[in-house]
Structure 1
């Protein structure tokens, strides 16, 4: 039985595969969504414990998805980690103000991904 379930909302197949490999190797269940709309649907259907959310996606960007999650009725307090190539302080601050719990910059190391997941899940289990 997987430790926890993680939803990855990411439009790039290479990053989807990378997240699935990293997280599944540590025993996490992984659910993948190609875009924001699919991600919101899977959030409702699968009740994950944490979300990795890409910012740059077609149709609905990560900022909009985060806003919808935080203002919605389906798991509005779920931990969200933005994944992005955007490293400008203003954009990081914007994401945090919209409700992201953490930020990870592409490219990233597997160790960083796992450390951030463990830290956020530890915080949410304690509360």
Structure 2
């Protein structure tokens, strides 16, 4: 028996335009999307959902994304994909720290939306035909 419930992705980023774009893209793919603009809002929303995958910005207005990833990892088993808008040298520095905190993958902004979808699918062990 297949589960007809849509996959749920939880995205935390303080960029409203990016949140809107990612919501639209994942909804077109048939995913349920939960959005939060900061860590406080994300923690509140987590009480009422169980995402299959997380996308977390490392720079958030109310705290450190790496610390939030560490918090998530202590409570969730779902894959976590970290994103950041820092330059290449910062990216290289942030990647090991992000992995140590519990992220499964890291993408630097700007990234192609398709790349994000592909990585989320890979982290969830989905092939390209599964919604």
- TM-score, normalisation: structure 1: 0.87
Q: Point out where structure 1 has 5 or more consecutive residues left out of the alignment.
A: none
The residue number in structure 1 matching 2:92 is: 89
Paired residue total: 120
Q: Point out where structure 2 has 5 or more consecutive residues left out of the alignment.
A: 127-131
- TM-score, normalisation: structure 2: 0.84
Richer in helix (by share)? 1
User: Is the Cα–Cα contact under 8 Å of residues 40 and 69 in structure 1 kept in the other structure?
Assistant: no
The residue number in structure 1 matching 2:71 is: 68
Structure 2 residue 92 is the aligned partner of structure 1 residue 102? no
Residue 37 of structure 1 aligns to a residue whose secondary structure is helix
Which has more radius of gyration?
A: 2
Question: How far apart are the structure 1 equivalents of 2:72 and 2:44?
Answer: 11
Runs of 4+ in 1 over 6 A off after TM superposition: none
The residue number in structure 2 matching 1:39 is: 42
1:60-107 CA-to-partner distances (Å, cap 9, x unmatched) read: 221111111123xx32x2211001113331211110111000111111
The residue number in structure 2 matching 1:29 is: 32
